[in-house]
Structure 1
Amino acid sequence: MASSDKEISYSNLKDLLAKGSGLLVDVRTKDEVDRGHIPGSIHIPVENVESDMSLDTAEFQSKFGVVKPSLDSSELVFYCQMGKRGALATEKARSLGFKNARNYAGGYKEWSEKGGK
């Protein structure tokens, strides 16, 4: 079901973040995010992905403090704890036209285990 172009690996994510580019979106609950998140990520709960990713650029910037990615951005990545909600969020974003949105399937669990904190 998951095709490789819809997922990003731990090492590729590290590279993306090291470049300081891309937008990483944590789609877990606020409680989960409060316990730890990947640095530089913004928080959009999975149930809000469609509405928040549909905001115009000014509203998005004002709400999240970051520039909204373009529809063809290859640097839009969603993640959750284990990958399932991230995949759902990726599908939602793709249905809105973010055709290169990807899911970090390893999620925060893998990030933490690999010492990415």
Structure 2
Amino acid sequence: MTTHQQTKPEEATFEEIQDLIHQKDRIVPLIDVRDPNETDLGVIPTAHSIPLSKLHDALTTLSEQEFEQQYGFKRFGKDDEVIFYCRSGRRSRLAFGQAQELGYSHVRHYPGSWNEWSVRFQSTA
């Protein structure tokens, strides 16, 4: 799942997220770092949920198998592109920082997050 593309900006746009969810062979995981009570209200299609409070442990203490059992997808590698989002962009930036500190070199975040997605998606649907 490693992507060796030119370095992309740390912030993903609405248009990039929209393109990403329509790719049949998705190679860039979209990670929702909101709490379960928030994700119950809706998520961006194709996203996986890892609450911010569990992100550090998910990336450092769980084995590959434990990660997949707990989160339902294969853990991304340190050289894989990954995009985090939350409700308004604050926690996605924190997740971005945590992942970078752990050596994940191609992480990004979507600053508009759920607030922007839910409004703009409605207007394009």
TM superposition score normalised by structure 1: 0.87
Tell me which residue corresponds to 1:5.
9
SS at match of 1:86: helix
Superposed displacement of residue 43, structure 1: 1.4
2:77 corresponds to 1:70:
yes
In structure 1, distance between residues paired with 2:53 and 2:47 = 17
Tell me which residue corresponds to 1:83.
89
TM superposition score normalised by structure 2: 0.82
1:1-117 to 2 correspondences below 5 Å: 5-19=9-23, 20-54=26-60, 55-74=62-81, 76-115=82-121
Which structure has the bigger radius of gyration? 2
Extract unaligned runs of 5+ from structure 1: none
In structure 2, distance between residues paired with 1:85 and 1:112 = 17
In structure 1, distance between residues paired with 2:30 and 2:10 = 14
Cα RMSD for the two superposed structures: 1.6
Task: Give the letter aligned to residue 66 of structure 1.
Answer: F
Report Cα offsets for 1:63-85 as digits up to 9, x if no partner: 112111111112x1110111000
Superposed displacement of residue 21, structure 1: 2.4
Identity of aligned residues (%): 31
SS at match of 1:5: coil
Task: Give the letter aligned to residue 18 of structure 2.
Answer: K
Extract unaligned runs of 5+ from structure 2: 1-7
